[in-house]
Structure 1
Amino acid sequence: MERAFDILELFLDEHELNPPEITARLGLPRTTVHELVSTLVEREYLTPATRDSSRFRLGVRGFQLGSAYAERLDLAREGQLVAEGIAEKCHETVHIAVREGTEVLYVAKVDSTHPVRMVSAVGRRLPAHCTAVGKALLATLPRKRVDELYADTGLIAMTDNSITSRRALHGELEEIRAGDGVAREHCESNDAVACVAAPVRDHSGAVVAAVSISAPILRFDDDVEAFLRDLARQGADELSHRLGFLAS
């Protein structure tokens, strides 16, 4: 069974392979490869590349399994599991959020275990430009699309530190794009809270959500920020993987 999976996983990087190529890559006996390929063809996990070809490609069964998996995915449920894992490592508040227009909607959350912590709720909406999670999502959009989103609306301020001009927003989004994709917010939606966030991709590679970690500014120094940035990025990668994204 393990060898059959080894054969199938070769096709993650190759469109077509023949038995001699599979034999060379896996170091398996030729007879074993021919038997396994025959079984995989019979079960429709592999199919001949052409009618008379000795080369093979992935068959319909893999597509059917992938489709069934995608249909059963639940972003909020998968996000909650990832958020719980992140919170265990940092003991700060962790959110999973999606963007709806110029707002972000929190779909999963784990509270900090500290007495002093951020107060929020699943289902809450905030202006995207005032949050790290929103900026992480906006930074994945082309500049033109961001302008379209804010064409008919101003950038309201939630605190004195909030971004209120489109020029300033574009400047920060460019910094996120030029960096590692992790966004930062410092007292922009709450005077006492700082936050970092990283984008999440689905099986198609599209950005569908973001993972954020929030902490009171009394615990937020450069070392803590670096630690939380790494955790946010790792959490986003894990959730992306759960949603079927395969990083190149």
Structure 2
Amino acid sequence: MDKKYWVPALEKANDVLLVISGQPSKLKLIDLSKQLGINKSSMFSILNTMEQLEWVVREAQGTYSLGSKLGFIGNAFFKQFSLIERFRKEAAITKHTIQETIQLASLDRHEVLYLAKEEMPSPVRLASEPGMKLPAHVTALGKALLAELEVSAIESLFPLEELSPCPTPYTLKNRSDLIVQLELSRTEGVAYDLQEAVMGFCCVAAPVRDMQGKVVAAISCSMFQHEWEQKKELAQKEICALAARLSQSSV
């Protein structure tokens, strides 16, 4: 494991959490200090910080147990898998209405990570598969996910004005145009890819939100460019409806 950018304090906090999780409400500060070989002063600082962050709870007898914030994080971790299962169930119906493949993805910095796909038979198969990543600025999924971010966050993810890569002549070439398009996507609640990722294909995407209203994923459907004018209104309507159902089921 490359530890060039390793943060020892985080490693110690992780060790403390693992020990507490194995023996909840049984260990005091002195017990944790001895068991992990961390001096009492450092252990006090670690525990005090984690208590303030609600990672741990100090009980009346001075022992420690895991805090509510870890429960929230753990619940969010498992929800991403239940979202995939719900997507498969719901999208299996929607894909027959649109007669097009539907995809689910999340944002991984400046890229989209494909999580699941409900595919319709087609002479041309979409190259994107679960586990693959593509640049967010070239896809409708990516734009739907980026649209919720502040401009400062977009500038951090795309530090240069010139965007790269640009796989087709229709791909956005600079960050300023991307920001304008994201503002429009935020207002309309949908995002588009008009032959920007792959020549000959158009796509519409909508965001999926959690119970706090935060965007946690996006769904899309893609189709041949020659079908776009005929089916784009139906596709937008069904994708937005599917995104709303998946968001509601996250409550």
TM-score by length of 2: 0.65
Counterparts of 1:243 and 1:81 in 2: how far apart (Å)?
14
Q: What are the superposed Cα offsets for residues 109-133 of structure 1, whole Å, 9 maximum, x if unpaired?
A: 0112333453431111110000001
Counterpart contact for 1:93–1:117, Cα < 8 Å:
no
Residues 136, 176 of structure 1: 8 Å contact kept: yes
CA deviation after TM superposition for structure 1 residue 77, in Å: 1.8
Where does residue 50 of structure 1 map in the other structure?
none
Per-residue deviation, residues 92-148 of structure 1 (Å, max 9, x unmatched): 010000000000011010112333453431111110000001001111111121111
Q: 2:246: which partner in 1?
A: 239
Q: How does 1:189-204 map to 2 (within 5 A)?
A: 189-204=197-212
User: Is 2:98 aligned against 1:90?
Assistant: yes
Change beyond 3 A, Cα 1:70–1:163 = closer
Per the alignment, in what secondary structure is the counterpart of residue 200 of structure 1?
A: strand
Aligned length: 177
1:158 aligns with 2:194: no
Judged with a 3 Å threshold, the aligned counterparts in structure 2 of structure 1 residues 108 and 197 are, in CA distance, closer, same or farther, namely: same
1:170-207 Cα offsets, whole Å, 9 max, x none, are 1111111232x100111100001100000000122211
Choose the corresponding residue for 1:142, options 150, 158, 178.
150
Residue in 1 that maps onto 2:84 = 76
* Cα distance in structure 1, aligned partners of 2:163 and 2:103: 23
Are residue 125 (structure 1) and residue 118 (structure 2) matched? Answer: no
The runs of at least 4 aligned residues of structure 1 exceeding 6 Å deviation read: 66-71
Q: What is the Cα-based RMSD across aligned positions, in Å?
A: 2.2
**Residues in 1 aligned to 2:139 and 2:109: alpha-carbon distance in whole angstroms:** 14
Per the alignment, do residues 101 and 72 of structure 1 end up closer, same or farther by CA in structure 2, a change over 3 Å counting?
A: closer
Structure 1 residue 167 and structure 2 residue 184: aligned? no
Q: Could you tell me which residue of structure 1 aligns to residue 214 of structure 2?
A: 206
Query: Percent same amino acid among aligned pairs?
Result: 34
1-structure distance, mates of 2:171, 2:221: 18
Contact 1:161 1:187 in 2 (8 A): yes
Paired residue secondary structure (2:116) = strand
Structure-2 separation of matches of 1:227 and 1:168? 27
Structure 2, gaps ≥5 residues long: 1-71
Query: What letter corresponds to residue 209 of structure 2 in structure 1?
Result: R
Q: 1:163 to 1:239 in 2, by over 3 A?
A: same
One-letter code of the match for 1:226? E
Q: In structure 2, what residue type is equivalent to 1:231?
A: E
